[in-house]
Amino acid sequence: MEIKDSSIFRGITDFFSSLRLTMFLLITLAIISIIGTIIPQGTLPPEYLQTVSQKRLDFYHAMGFFDMYHSWWFILLLILLSINLIVCSFKRLPGIWKTITQPVLIMDEGLEKTLPNRAIIRSRADSVNLKEQVVAFLKAEFAAPVITEEDGVYHLFAQKSSWSRLAVYAVHLSVLVIFIGAIIGSVFGYKGFVNIPEGNSIDKIMSRSDKEINLGFAVHCEKFSVAYYPNGAPREFKSILTVLENGNPVPGYNRVPVIVNDPLHYKGITFYQSSYGKFGEHEFIISNPDGSNPQPIKVSSGGSVKLPDGSSVTLQETTPDISRFQPDQSGPAAQMNVHLANGEHKTFIVYSNNPVMNRMNISYTGGRLLEYKGGEEFMYTGLQVAKDPGVWIVWFGCTLMIAGIYVAFFMSHRRIWIRVENSTVTIGGNASKNQGAFQIFMDHLQTKLNNQLSAGDNK
Amino acid sequence: MTSSLLFNITTIAYLISMLCFFSHLATRNEQAGAVGSYTAYGGLLVQTVAILLRWKESYDLGMGHVPLSNLYESVVFFAWTIILIFMFVDLKYRYRIIGAFVVPFALFGMAWAQLGMNSGIEPLVPALQSNWLLYHVVTCFLGYAAFAVACGVSIMYLIATRTGLAEEGKRGAILDMFPPARLLDDINYKSIMIGFPLLTLGIVTGAAWANYAWGTYWSWDPKETWSLIVWFVYAAFLHARLTRGWVGRRAAWLSIIGFVATIFCYLGVNLLLSGLHSYGGK
């Protein structure tokens, strides 16, 4: 019974430690990750909904395709990859550890045969003298050797960067560290969003999962501004924010400028400049073309006016004084947009004191006369809010990964064994990687040792 | 002298270089290969000056930013990194013929940028105003370029090991100039060993930047996801080296697939999908 159990256990470990599984998981992850780059994720845009059938929509929903990177099957693959990493490491690490901590100190015949870089150097010196010379040479040219004496024969062993054999496990560990950081971030942190009108404060934000979160302090938006390049492209979005504790500004957090790529951090919560817009209310008057039957309408910034014929026009922008843009006009004006029956979008201006011009818009406004009376507007700033206590673990994991990959690829464990007998020095070595470079190094080393020893002989 | 003129000279240099490499391939003329290499190096030098000059020109226009801010500038930089990596391979291995399979990538990039794209210097939108731009773009493209070289060498490997051609004696005149298949396999592996850490660094700097600018280091944006797909493919390639069934032609195919994924990550995502990296938008 016990034998059977252990063979099942063996079977499971073999399965989870196999490179085939690694290859399968990496290639499967690469292929199925494509799904989420083609099918929209999260909130589905209405344009997308129009293009797919209900049947397909239901299927995608059932498969979790609209949030595939959090679906059970994607997470399962990541868990399998993690198990694969862990089992592989546990299986191979003890052997590697032994290679590092208990190196083979003596080059016997069996080992000698496996070494591709072997050389025999002859010398007239006796073994003690020879050993002294070779030890000094190795120390100067490579690394200080460990010396073992056996029946008058000296065995020298020297190595470099033995720990580089661990690098690949550090890379594997780093993947797990990044996963742990991501999990901590998603359990103990949140991502959210808040709009703050100029001159207002907020102490709550909405998380992405539509939960209200109390910050425990307040953020006040003093001002929001946009700066432009000469060609009209935006150059800078800037909010001036103040952190308030119990209604009082916190020293050091008073009137802090926050721009894109320069967020505000306070108590582990970070505020990022993300969007902006206008809050405001505008008054319009809608009447018959001759001005009779006037009715006031209130429209919010960016809102729409519903016209009696069922069509609607959208308020795009307003100005308290149109003369800045059209010198021959004056007073407040509003820029409107209408979606015509033929599918065309048309933009037009509604004035406050120019019924003649306003009458030209009648075909866009359902046959009625629209007049702008003015309004009040405030800018608001849109801030992305994030709290992520796991982010430093993720950065640690990333650093470990890059350092690990560097060492794993570009450093190698190099070992040299030397046997010193009377008048004979046998030298051999191997490297865990980059055999070509090691061969050149060994050739160079052997030539140099040969020259030094023969120079000693000739003295 | 303007950077635009120098970029045109660069394009012509890469064209001449490619033609020399092709004639080297066709005629086995050693001199043609040497001229191909030196023209490519010359083009690289001119292009380096051109990129620096464009950088300076942006300051003269009062916008002052590193020339890595839109599709045009990134394609030009990609061509530069490809020739740079090619130069290292050429100097180290001395097989000129590799140029015939790598320089065309750079020429294609330059020709597309010079002929098909708006090359005007534009001001930097707020989202790109960060030092991370430089680190992120430079690491990504050096990685991409190493993958381009690996792809070119893998194509050579596939040609060299086509059934029937592999045996000595049956090799055609052209194949005689090819490096041995083992060496091609080795250059493929070494190039990916250079590219993979750089890609990793590129993804990490991108994540760090995203976290700094938006508060999320990873949001499964199509660009991010595709960079991860590329990372998976090359991670599979590196692990494949440790198994028996995946060396040789299969490894070469994996390297080519990796580069196709890289190009999709770089261009396809912008031109075909939507997301945060909008420089390909128009």
Are B125 and A233 in contact (CB < 8 Å)?
yes
Q: pLDDT higher for A250 or A362? A: A250
**pLDDT value at position B70?**
87
Are A261 and B213 in contact (CB < 8 Å)?
yes
Distance in Å, alpha carbon of A264 to nearest chain B alpha carbon: 10
Distance in Å, alpha carbon of A2 to nearest chain B alpha carbon: 32
**pLDDT value at position B123?**
84
Given a contact cutoff of 8 angstroms between Cβ atoms, the answer to whether A41 and A66 are in contact is yes
Mean pLDDT, residues A167-174 taken together: 95
To 5 degrees, how large is the angle CA A173–CA A179–CA A183? Answer: 145
Q: How confident is the model at residue B279 (pLDDT cuts 50, 70, 90)?
A: very low
Report d(CA A142, CA A205) in Å as an integer. Answer: 62
**pLDDT value at position B259?**
96
Beta strands of A366-442 (E only): which ranges?
369-387, 414-421, 424-431
Q: Which amino acid is at B40?
A: A
Given a contact cutoff of 8 angstroms between Cβ atoms, the answer to whether A183 and A175 are in contact is no
Q: pLDDT higher for A297 or B19? A: B19
For the stretch B121-166, pLDDT in tens is 888 888 888 889 999 999 999 999 999 999 999 999 998 888 655 5
Are B232 and A384 in contact (CB < 8 Å)?
no
For the stretch A129-139, pLDDT in tens is 888 889 999 99
How do strand A345-351 and strand A312-319 relate by DSSP bridges?
Answer: unpaired
Q: How confident is the model at residue A4 (pLDDT cuts 50, 70, 90)?
A: low
Q: Is the pLDDT of residue B189 over 70?
A: yes
Q: Is the pLDDT of residue B67 over 80?
A: yes
A50-54, A182-186, A375-379, B171-175 — which one is most confidently predicted on average? Answer: A182-186
Q: Which amino acid is at A376?
A: E
Hey, of A19, A23, A34, A37, which one would you mutate to test binding to chain B, going by the most B CBs within 10 A of its CB? A37
**pLDDT value at position A459?**
62
Distance in Å, alpha carbon of A214 to nearest chain B alpha carbon: 18
Residue whose structure tokens are 């592996």: B189
**pLDDT value at position B275?**
53
A65-69, A217-221, B116-120 — which one is most confidently predicted on average? Answer: A217-221
Q: How confident is the model at residue A69 (pLDDT cuts 50, 70, 90)?
A: very high
Residue B85 bridge partners (DSSP): none
Question: Cα torsion for B219, B221, B224, B229, to the nearest 10°?
Answer: 110
Computed over every residue of chain A, the mean pLDDT equals: 88
Which of helix, strand or coil describes residue A42?
Answer: coil
**pLDDT value at position B169?**
52
Given a contact cutoff of 8 angstroms between Cβ atoms, the answer to whether A27 and B232 are in contact is yes
Conformational region of residue A247, where left means phi above 0, alpha means psi within -120 to 50, and beta covers everything else: left
Instruction: For residue A262, give the nearest of B224, B59, B133, B215 by alpha carbon.
Output: B215
Report d(CA A225, CA A406) in Å as an integer. Answer: 45
Are B122 and A29 in contact (CB < 8 Å)?
no
Report d(CA A348, CA A335) in Å as an integer. Answer: 6
Q: Is the pLDDT of residue B193 over 70?
A: yes
Report d(CA B265, CA B282) in Å as an integer. Answer: 17
Nearby residues of B20 by Cβ (< 8 Å), 6 or more positions away: B32, B33, B35, B36, B39
Q: Is the pLDDT of residue B217 over 90?
A: yes
Residue whose structure tokens are 């292929």: A31
For the stretch A401-457, pLDDT in tens is 999 999 999 999 999 999 998 788 999 999 988 788 888 899 999 999 988 888 877
Q: Is the pLDDT of residue A148 over 50?
A: yes
**pLDDT value at position A386?**
92
Mean pLDDT, residues B69-84 taken together: 94
Distance in Å, alpha carbon of A235 to nearest chain B alpha carbon: 6
pTM here?
0.84
Which of helix, strand or coil describes residue A394?
Answer: helix
Q: How confident is the model at residue B273 (pLDDT cuts 50, 70, 90)?
A: confident
Given a contact cutoff of 8 angstroms between Cβ atoms, the answer to whether A221 and A243 are in contact is no
Overall residue count recorded for chain B in this entry? 282
Mean pLDDT, residues B55-67 taken together: 88
- C-alpha radius of gyration, chain A, whole number: 38
For the stretch B194-210, pLDDT in tens is 999 999 999 999 999 99
To 5 degrees, how large is the angle CA B187–CA B192–CA B194? Answer: 95
A316-320, A404-408, B82-86, range with the lowest pLDDT: A316-320
Q: Is the pLDDT of residue A63 over 70?
A: yes
Residue B92 φ then ψ, to 5°: -80, -45
- Closest CB to B228: pick one of A33, A263, A388: A33
Q: How confident is the model at residue A255 (pLDDT cuts 50, 70, 90)?
A: very high
Q: Is the pLDDT of residue A369 over 90?
A: no
Residues of B in contact with A230 (CB under 8 A): 62
C-alpha B139, offset from chain centre: 12
B→A interface, C-beta within 8 Å: 62-63, 122-123, 125-127, 129-130, 132, 193, 196-197, 200-201, 204, 207-208, 211-218, 220, 222, 225-226, 228-229, 232-233, 235-236, 239-240, 242-243, 246, 261, 269, 273
Nearby residues of A101 by Cβ (< 8 Å), 6 or more positions away: none
Q: Which amino acid is at A45?
A: P
**pLDDT value at position A1?**
43
- C-alpha radius of gyration, chain B, whole number: 19
Residue A157 φ then ψ, to 5°: -135, 130
Mean pLDDT, residues A380-408 taken together: 94
**A166 DSSP assignment:** G
Computed over every residue of chain B, the mean pLDDT equals: 88
Are B217 and A385 in contact (CB < 8 Å)?
no
Q: Is the pLDDT of residue B242 over 80?
A: no
